[in-house]
Amino acid sequence: MNKRKIGVLASGRGSNLQAIMDNIANGTLDLEIAVVVSDKPDAKALERAQNANIPTVVVDRKACSDKIDFETKIDSALKEHNAEVVVLAGFMRLLSGFFVEKWQHKIINIHPALLPSFPGLDAQGQAIEYGVKFSGCTVHFVDEGTDSGPIILQKVVPVFDNDTEETLSARILEEEHKAMSEALKLWSLDKLGVEGRKVILK
């Protein structure tokens, strides 16, 4: 039986990508990374993928005429490699409605907060400043808003009085690595249904 294929978009060091790769290698995830696409030619994520013989594509925003051109090239790379779903693993650009519409309920993102609290940038810093006692991460489908799509699953971590943004981020990142793979396992088994705002486990 052919394994289901994912395309990964990454801009940075690719630690979430590595966690997915590790879980594929150890048999926890029965799927294939078809391609890793980055907007940064020097992203560490590309190196990780190349070391694992995973195809990589760079789509440099500066070399594109506009956002539509940029996203069209990403879309083409994903389709060329037969990706069925798009995984955002530290991809630092907001996707437009043009792209989201093409991949409706087929783009999965992870955010380092318990949405709908603290969307957008610096979620960990927002959580500490607000004084919450718990935070965590959220895996969700991407819609046209900022971190506002239907929630697949969440993981909770405590926030301690002496936490800094760095210590809280590290604690959340450990859960991110588990959460994304859990969500992808559910997706690969065709267990995720979307009804309005809710993700229903089939």
- Give yes or no for a contact between 139 and 172, defined as CB atoms under 8 angstroms apart: no
Q: Among the residues of 81-164, which ranges form H helices?
A: 97-102, 123-130
- Angle at which helices 15-25 and 165-188 cross, to 10°: 40
By annotation, the residues acting in catalysis are: 111
Find, among 184, 160, 183, 161, the residue nearest to 172 by Cα: 160
Query: To the nearest 10°, the Cα dihedral for 146, 148, 150, 153?
Result: 90
The encoded tokens of residue 100 equal 């989201």
End-to-end CA distance of the chain: 22
d(CA 151, CA 186): 13
- Give yes or no for a contact between 139 and 180, defined as CB atoms under 8 angstroms apart: yes
